[in-house]
Structure 1
Amino acid sequence: MNEKHNQGRRRLLCGCAGLAALGLAACGRKDDTASTGPQDFDAQASCSLDGMLLAEYPGPKGQLRYADEAQTQWFCDTVELLSTLLRPEQVRALQSAHVQDMALADWEQPRGHWIDARSAFYVLGSKRRGSMGPTAASFAQETAAKSFAQQWGGQVLRYAELKPELVDLSGGALHDTRM
């Protein structure tokens, strides 16, 4: 009888532990739309490629969400994000890719104003610098991108027009003597 009582007690405890674990797991989950939409970074968010803190640098930022990974991958510069997206060996399934609309975000301390990276317009070659030096200024509207290019220089391109060599990471901070 004692053996049967201990066995029943173990089952009850295991069942309770399992329910508690499920409950805790559910607490941290968001609905699907919240988890695939853009997130905003906090003061401790660091770049997935180089560990730089996003909040400490000017210019547009980026974020990727992979289908097989719950955590947001942050990029302190759009060139880093675009280089990652456009690499020929990039085969991981994406859930979402976002950049900031610099027509709305403050260049020196950009926060919020996230747009889909694959529908954005980019200005490459402008005089404005991001965290890694030369950057790709991102915009939701072509008119805003053209206005920026008129003021700061550069060429306006749609995402579909970007090529890997245009966002090559071997340039940027490595060859920018002003940093």
Structure 2
Amino acid sequence: MIINRRQFIFNTLITAIAGSTLIGCSQSTTGKAITAVEIDPHTTCDLDGMLLADYPGPKAQIFYQGKDTPTFFCDTVEMFHTLLSPEQVKVVSAAFVQDMGKADWDQPHGNWILAKDGYYVLGSKRHGSMGPTIASFAQEAEAQKFAGQWGGKLLRYAEIKADMVDLSGGALHDTRM
């Protein structure tokens, strides 16, 4: 019986942590609005040091509570992997992704939206910096159009699960690193 109770407590804790880290709101606890920071030619991915501007596909950034600067990701898969990781315990103040309905896929710049408000296409033929990526959009119609052209499944933010964001393939196949 004690094993079942421990498992219940563990599952409850993981659910609480996951729920608190996936907030993606646009205001900090101080009431100050949080806005996305634009990448420049020198902006690097916090996970692997890659230059964001050198690679195609949607980028992402997370603002953690108590930090004024974001953690950058060269791919939306990296962002979701970080947010959905059981080890993730930092409180997220905001998360942003690029609207690929407006941004140039090969050289995405600007067009940041709150991640929690986005529409996502998983499993398309388009690749980002780390190989297969999750395309992000502000409008459902743009996401559907993209999926019609490139394939993939349309999802909302809360529908993306940890088993959908495996990082084991991207860097292993990147010949430009």
- Give the alignment's TM-score, normalised by structure 1: 0.77
Q: Which has the larger radius of gyration?
A: 1
Give unmatched runs, 5+ long, in structure 1. 1-30
Alpha-carbon distance in 1 for matches of 2:83, 2:140: 21
Paired amino acid for 1:61: K
Paired amino acid for 2:89: V
CA shift, 1:32, in A, is 2.7
Q: Which residue of 2 aligns with 1:43?
A: 41
Structure 1 residues 95-134: aligned runs within 5 Å: 95-134=93-132
Q: How many residues align?
A: 146
Root mean square deviation, CA, Å: 1.6
Q: Which residue of 2 aligns with 1:139?
A: 137
Decide which of 161, 164, 167 is 2:165's aligned counterpart: 167
CA shift, 1:177, in A, is 7.7
CA shift, 1:118, in A, is 1.3
CA shift, 1:171, in A, is 2.6
Alpha-carbon distance in 2 for matches of 1:51, 1:111: 18
Alpha-carbon distance in 2 for matches of 1:63, 1:84: 11
Q: Which residue of 1 aligns with 2:50?
A: 52
Classify the secondary structure of the residue corresponding to 1:118. helix
Q: Which residue of 2 aligns with 1:7?
A: none
Say which structure is richer in helix: 1
Structure 1 residues 83-94: aligned runs within 5 Å: 83-94=81-92
Q: Which moved more, 1:40-49 or 1:83-92?
A: 83-92
- Give the alignment's TM-score, normalised by structure 2: 0.78
CA contact (8 A) 2:130 2:174 kept: no
Classify the secondary structure of the residue corresponding to 1:80. helix
